[in-house]
Structure 1
Amino acid sequence: MKPRSLMFTLFGEYVQNYGGEIWVGSLIQMMERFGVSESSVRGAILRMVQKDLMKVRKIGNRSYYSFTPQGINQINEGVKRVYSERNAKWDGQWRILTYSFPEAKRDMRNEIRKELNWTGFGAISNSTWVSPNPIEKQVMELMERHQLGDYMMLFTSSKVMSHDNQEIVNKGWDLQHISDEYDRFIQEHLKIYDYLREKALQNTLTDEESFIERTKIVHEYRKFLFNDPIFPVDLLPENFRGTEARELFWKIHQMISIPAVRCFESLYESAPDREVEPHRERAVNPFNKVYM
């Protein structure tokens, strides 16, 4: 687990539900459970502060960290995509983005490509990206945030004259590869599910083990956000394994969430000037169940 990515997971899963701020000592203790050293934690925090993703508050000789609005946007978008259900029907609109960056802005162009990929766009040529998802708002915010109006244009179209929809999908994405990755996730985590379920039935599953396993499965599942464009169901190929992987992810998550949060609470320390009411966060199951 890379320290920066793990911090996004910990804040998205836990810290944001407890005021969004944490003592660095608590963060170090949590990340030690995943083999991340104190020096690696502090180095990752420094880099994230320099990139305006995190900020620090000093109280006495203690440091308390939270995410900036820019970082919170990334966390919220990730959490939303992890826990949101796919749309069943496509609205028939392609979102088409074109750009042209001067060579002096090469670094910006590379950064924008990463953000477009994260948002779910697929590249059908060097400077043309498309998506069937209703993500106009995110794109306009991206353009405004980076002041890209002179370099990018966004269109929508209900019809492409030269190619049918399946040809466009095949140009922009390798959905079979994504499905194969989901299949590997399923095969690996079916064993983990059976193992954890057996321990839970025997009452030998500890809070710390639950915290580690919940964090790990969310961390692993989040990786699909960089590959799976989260297409509406009616644009997916037959036997696409994404829904099965999601169901398994939720079964494991739901089974171990309460003891995982207990472990988090035992490690978490907020700033002394902030009273954070300990609680079990509520999450709505996309399969119409609720856990506390």
Structure 2
Amino acid sequence: MLTSPLGAVEGSSANSTITRWARQLLRDEPPRTTSLVVTVFGDAIAPHGGAAWLRTLIDLMDTFGINERAVRTSVYRLAEDAWLQAERQGRQSRYALTEAGRRRFALASRRIYHPGSPTWDGQWTLVLIPRGAEVMASRTDLRRDLAWEGFATITPGLLAHPQADAERLRELLEELGVRDDAFVVRAQDLPGVTERELSELAGYWPLDAVAMQYEDFVSRFAPVAEAVETRSGFSPRQAFLVRTLLVHWYRRVVLHDPRLPAAMLPPDWPGGPAYALSRRVYRAVTPGAEAYLTEALGKDGVPVSAEFRARFTEFA
């Protein structure tokens, strides 16, 4: 349940522009509590060791106007779904990422904080699913999970991607138990056979919908980018507020982006400007956000990971 992010405006260093912007964003499109908890764990807690006391997490989520009961319900659900595991110490509970949760965050982090490969070698990854009855039951799950990884369904038994993550594909086939059932091959154009433009293949992916989401993201976060670009005039807690909301909204778009080569994208593709805006805001507010997190996590926190230090360092 969302109330109002009043906790983020306490103190003389609060920035009224950021306060008004955050209130409007949370009022216009309130995020699901469980999803926002996932963002806080992935962006803020995972780089500091991946564990936090429940009371600390409740205090962090109060920044967004989320009450204690909603936080408790959310962490219980995440534990049920094997994202988190609880450790009891007396009357206190400490929640840590499971091994599966760490893998999920690592995969998502590669797509959220890095712009992707700037070049393409012209190779395609094709996944062919036989019609045999023994794999029919898993075809729906495989198509769904491959779509999440950016694959397009060419026919019911053929999926393709021009820049697939080979390591992630192997993991996915093993997780679904179909590594010995699906055929995975590499392919490329035959020179001189066709002169059609690669952009004609883009219709297999929902690029229009993703582009609209990117444009909406840029319009929502451009005002706060101007407010934080001087890196002064806002409190550490507001810095944490802005960074978390930025990552939360950005990941909802970028994790649906199939990340196609530039040759397949329209010339005005908004993915680059969205990444550039995210980079600008994230780097501006991170010093303040880290100061707030260091105090909030206390002795439970650890120095940030190498992965964290590499976030948003590349230019799109």
Give TM-score scaled by structure 2 length: 0.78
- Structure 2 residue aligned with 1:122, among 141, 152, 157? 152
Asked if 1:236 is matched to 2:269, the reply is no
| Distance of aligned partners of 1:266 and 1:278 in 2 relative to their CA distance in 1, 3 Å threshold | farther
Q: In structure 2, what is the equivalent of residue 45 of structure 1?
A: 75
Asked if 1:70 is matched to 2:103, the reply is no
The answer to which of 96-105 and 43-52 deviates more is 96-105
Q: In structure 2, what is the equivalent of residue 193 of structure 1?
A: 225
| Distance of aligned partners of 1:105 and 1:269 in 2 relative to their CA distance in 1, 3 Å threshold | farther
Distance in 2 (alpha carbons) for counterparts of 1:270 and 1:111: 42
Distance in 1 (alpha carbons) for counterparts of 2:135 and 2:124: 30
Deviation at 1:232, TM superposition (A): 2.5
Asked if 1:276 is matched to 2:305, the reply is no
Q: In structure 2, what is the equivalent of residue 56 of structure 1?
A: 86
Distance in 1 (alpha carbons) for counterparts of 2:58 and 2:135: 39
Deviation at 1:55, TM superposition (A): 1.1
Q: In structure 2, what is the equivalent of residue 286 of structure 1?
A: 314
1:188-207 deviations in Å (ceiling 9; x for gaps): 22222123347x5xx43111
Deviation at 1:277, TM superposition (A): 4.9
Deviation at 1:102, TM superposition (A): 6.1
1:139-173 deviations in Å (ceiling 9; x for gaps): 11111123123553322211388986434321x21
Distance in 2 (alpha carbons) for counterparts of 1:211 and 1:101: 51
Structure 1 counterpart of 2:273, one-letter code: E
Distance in 2 (alpha carbons) for counterparts of 1:111 and 1:69: 22
Distance in 2 (alpha carbons) for counterparts of 1:279 and 1:157: 37
List alignment gaps of at least 5 residues for structure 1.
Answer: none
Distance in 1 (alpha carbons) for counterparts of 2:293 and 2:275: 24
**Corresponding pairs, count:** 280
Distance in 2 (alpha carbons) for counterparts of 1:12 and 1:53: 11
| Distance of aligned partners of 1:187 and 1:278 in 2 relative to their CA distance in 1, 3 Å threshold | closer
| Distance of aligned partners of 1:168 and 1:235 in 2 relative to their CA distance in 1, 3 Å threshold | closer
The answer to which of 80-89 and 135-144 deviates more is 80-89
1:251-286 deviations in Å (ceiling 9; x for gaps): 111111111111222222555xxx735899523511
The answer to which of 62-71 and 108-117 deviates more is 108-117
Deviation at 1:213, TM superposition (A): 0.7
Asked if 1:144 is matched to 2:174, the reply is yes
Q: In structure 2, what is the equivalent of residue 219 of structure 1?
A: 248
Distance in 1 (alpha carbons) for counterparts of 2:119 and 2:83: 35
Distance in 1 (alpha carbons) for counterparts of 2:154 and 2:139: 16
Structure 2 counterpart of 1:287, one-letter code: F
Q: In structure 1, what is the equivalent of residue 112 of structure 2?
A: 82
Distance in 2 (alpha carbons) for counterparts of 1:130 and 1:279: 34
Q: In structure 1, what is the equivalent of residue 213 of structure 2?
A: 181
- Structure 2 residue aligned with 1:166, among 185, 188, 199? 199
- Structure 1 residue aligned with 2:279, among 250, 271, 279? 250
CA-atom RMSD in angstroms: 2.9
| Distance of aligned partners of 1:164 and 1:152 in 2 relative to their CA distance in 1, 3 Å threshold | farther
Distance in 2 (alpha carbons) for counterparts of 1:51 and 1:216: 23
| Distance of aligned partners of 1:270 and 1:24 in 2 relative to their CA distance in 1, 3 Å threshold | farther
Distance in 1 (alpha carbons) for counterparts of 2:304 and 2:262: 38
List alignment gaps of at least 5 residues for structure 2.
Answer: 1-30
What secondary structure sits across from 2:159 in the alignment? strand
Q: Is the 8 A contact 1:101 1:109 kept in 2?
A: no
Distance in 1 (alpha carbons) for counterparts of 2:304 and 2:198: 49
What secondary structure sits across from 1:36 in the alignment? coil
What secondary structure sits across from 2:94 in the alignment? strand
Identical counterparts, % of pairs: 24
Q: In structure 1, what is the equivalent of residue 39 of structure 2?
A: 9
| Distance of aligned partners of 1:5 and 1:112 in 2 relative to their CA distance in 1, 3 Å threshold | farther
